[in-house]
Amino acid sequence: MKQLKLTGFVIFLFFLTECLSLPTKPQDVDDFNITQKFIEDNVGYITIITFAQYVQEASFEEVEMLAKNMTEYRDQCLANRTLPQCSKLPNEALQEAICAMEGVPQKHNFSHCCNKGGFERRLCFFFNKKADVGFLPPLPTLDPEVKCQAYKNNSESFLSNYIYEVSRRNPFVFTPTLLTVMGRIEEMAKTCCEEQDKANCFRIKAVPIIQYLKAFSSFQKNVCGAYLRFGPTVLKSIYIAILSQKFPKTEFEELTSILEDVSSKYDGCCEGDAVQCIRGRSKLMSHICSKQDSISSKIKECCEKKIPERGECIIQSKDDKPKDLSLKEEKFTENKNVCEERNADQDIFMAKFLYEYSRRHQELSTPELLRIARVYNDLLRECCNAENPPDCYSTMENKFNETTEKSLKIVQRECEHFQNLGKDDLKYHYFIKFTKIAPQLSTDELTFLGEEMVTALLTCCTLSEEFACVDNLVDLVIGEICGVNENRTINPAVDHCCKTNFAFRRHCFEVLDADKTYVPPSASQGLFTFHTDLCQAHNEELQRKKDRFLVNLVKLKPELTDEELRSSLTEFTNLVDKCCKAEGPEACFNEESLTDSLWCPRTPVPVNAAPVMAPWKDLFTVSNIVSHRFFPIDTHSTPDCLTIHMHTQTLCTVGTCAHSQAHTLTHSFHSG
């Protein structure tokens, strides 16, 4: 495999003909040719990634077949570019090939996309991607020896299968990022397959690869989500803040020209135009390197690297703030002509403000810089209509400080959670919080969000740049909730936070309570039925089951307090420990589990039956002493208790039962 360390922000790329004007400068021509050669060399892998992301249900055999077809297509066009089929645009060629696969569109339910054409078809394929991949089987795990033998027998097939599995589970990760991941997997396989302790080698070397994939995935989804939901203005604001902090000595005019390249790149990347995306990225990096004297002295070595590597190097670089750069730019708060300058060109004026504020405040997060800009814009609108505008906007710095102080307090509270709770309790805190806010999300999505919050706090809360680090990473978690698709909907409150104001969505989420529109399922769906598979589970697998149990319990009983939910989880852990140590684990689980028959559809309580309230933590099973069969129980839930209604209109509580000779209390069930 050749030059797989291509990194940057590109969503789809391909080969074939160009839709952009060809470069004329010698350096630009060289960049163009090198990038084109990279694409041509990796057509097979690129096809696998793109098809697996478009149609996640597709089998490896189907994906491999398309990769073979597209490689043959490449060879035909390289041999004779005048062939009619070689004049098609890249995405058009790929999507036509996918739609032409016999029976595949119908089998995987995307034939509606194939019935469209042009831009509509491209967007249809893009929006057909599913963020929640719970419908896919677990990622296959192989014994290290088997893995190494497969790699040695056919490294290309091994890598193709690997990138297929990773791509279909990460449908919004940009193709170059996945190619970089594949390159690192190849390096890992080469190294670890020569080691004696292969398993430990794979385990250690996989960690940074997974971290790399998660980091780029979150950023790419967040930025594309912002672009597709809020448009190019927000995208430009994000990059004004990022680039001004990264390269603070860059002049505003130079930054503006760079932003034009950024905008054209994302216009293609986020909407799925492969050629525009890859060429836009190449053009952007060439632009930066051609002006390195005026942009940054730190990127000289980066620009000497080959195109696939130079982008990654530039993205990771950061210049120091010029020593003569004052902390405050007075022309935006003390200039008498602020309103006149703003009214002359509001977009340029606000871009200049964000540029000047960002380059002076490298300690702030990107979201906080966008909040400051929003506050400035809103207050300036008021001040410029006031009787004395200069008096009004002269106090702007105080407003900026108030905004940052509010954001800082949010971060401090989160880091206090980190300090006061252990790692597991911190995770459970966020499982409960996210599930109550957005119970419509899948269990997998909710556990992922909780884990990402823990990772953010573990990463940042001990650093000197704690605020910016936490705020940036938590913003990415919120981006995961809001998603890439502008039509994504969860519930009214969450949708409001995701769609109303990009800069302040973190503050919006902070004050969300449990979703009031959510209707819990009427049955436990097996939540309280346990089996001996819990005893066979390894530590990590058992922990995942505990995590899922807690999230599903919140979905079932969202009115329970955090303390009650944690107590329930403790009871579950104790139950597993008890039954797995018992002589007959299955019998123990059968005896202790709360069966689904106790969660039957609700029926009205008879008029002559006086309800008795049973605490949620003391649910129990009742058996008939004659038939030993469970009677249906009707549940009427309140925040703290359940009304238990027996078939015979006998109502019981734990430890107390209304007078009856036909029923007996067998045991208390402490599941929470």
Backbone angles phi, psi at 644, to 5 degrees: -95, 120
Domains in the chain, please, with CATH? 29-221 (1.10.246.10), 231-362 (1.10.246.10), 410-511 (1.10.246.10), 532-596 (1.10.246.10)
| Structure tokens belonging to residue 259 | 């932003």
Q: Is 313 helix (H, G, I), strand (E, B) or coil?
A: helix
Q: To which H or E segment does residue 624 belong?
A: strand 620-624
Q: Is 591 helix (H, G, I), strand (E, B) or coil?
A: helix
C-alpha angle with apex 119: 113 to 120, nearest 5 degrees? 35
Long-range contacts, 602-610 (Cβ 8 Å, 24+) = 602/522, 602/634, 602/635, 602/636, 603/634, 603/645, 605/634, 605/636, 605/643, 605/645, 606/649, 608/649, 609/645, 609/649, 609/651, 610/651
Backbone angles phi, psi at 622, to 5 degrees: -120, 130
Q: What is the pLDDT of residue 426?
A: 95
Q: What is the pLDDT of residue 292?
A: 86
Give the other-Cβ count within 10 Å of 41's Cβ: 16
Q: What is the pLDDT of residue 340?
A: 94
CA atoms within 13 A on the CB side of 588: 16
Comparing CA positions, the residue from 543, 342, 315 lying closest to residue 447 is: 543
Q: Which residues contact 457 (CB under 8 A, 6 or more apart)?
A: 414, 415, 417, 418, 426, 470
Q: What is the pLDDT of residue 91?
A: 75
Rounded CA separation 145/406 (Å): 54
Cα–Cα distances in angstroms (integers) from residue 420 to residues 416, 424, 426, in the given order = 6, 12, 9
Comparing CA positions, the residue from 14, 18, 67, 4 lying closest to residue 39 is: 14
Q: What is the pLDDT of residue 59?
A: 95
Comparing CA positions, the residue from 405, 540, 411 lying closest to residue 466 is: 411
pLDDT in tens, 364-382: 999 999 999 999 999 999 9
Rounded CA separation 266/233 (Å): 12
Rounded CA separation 120/74 (Å): 25
Backbone angles phi, psi at 182, to 5 degrees: -65, -40
pLDDT in tens, 123-174: 899 888 888 888 999 888 888 999 999 999 999 999 999 999 999 999 888 8
| Structure tokens belonging to residue 266 | 């994302």
Angle between helices 175-192 and 155-169 (to 10 degrees): 130
pLDDT in tens, 629-667: 333 333 333 333 333 333 333 333 333 333 333 332 233
Backbone angles phi, psi at 642, to 5 degrees: -125, 145
Rounded CA separation 189/178 (Å): 16
CA-based max dimension of the chain: 97
Cα–Cα distances in angstroms (integers) from residue 628 to residues 623, 625, 652, 662, in the given order = 5, 5, 17, 11
Comparing CA positions, the residue from 551, 585, 587 lying closest to residue 568 is: 551
Comparing CA positions, the residue from 308, 305, 279 lying closest to residue 292 is: 305
Please list the rounded mean pLDDT of every run of 10 residues in the chain (672 residues). 31 30 53 75 86 93 92 87 82 88 95 92 88 86 90 94 93 82 92 94 93 88 91 92 93 90 73 66 83 88 77 82 85 91 94 96 95 96 92 91 95 94 93 97 94 94 91 95 88 95 95 94 75 85 91 93 91 89 87 47 42 39 32 36 32 33 31 34
Please check whether residue 73 is in contact with residue 66, taking contact to mean a CB–CB distance below 8 angstroms: no
Q: What is the pLDDT of residue 277?
A: 67
Q: Is 653 helix (H, G, I), strand (E, B) or coil?
A: strand
Q: What is the pLDDT of residue 627?
A: 31
Q: What is the pLDDT of residue 27?
A: 58
| Residue 246 burial class via C-beta count within 10 angstroms: exposed 0-12, middle 13-18, buried 19 and up | buried
Q: What is the pLDDT of residue 151?
A: 94
Rounded CA separation 253/624 (Å): 83
Rounded CA separation 13/45 (Å): 11
pTM of the shown model:
0.80
Rounded CA separation 167/130 (Å): 12
For 596, which DSSP code?
G
If phi > 0 it is left, if psi is from -120 to 50 it is alpha, else beta; for residue 118 that is: left
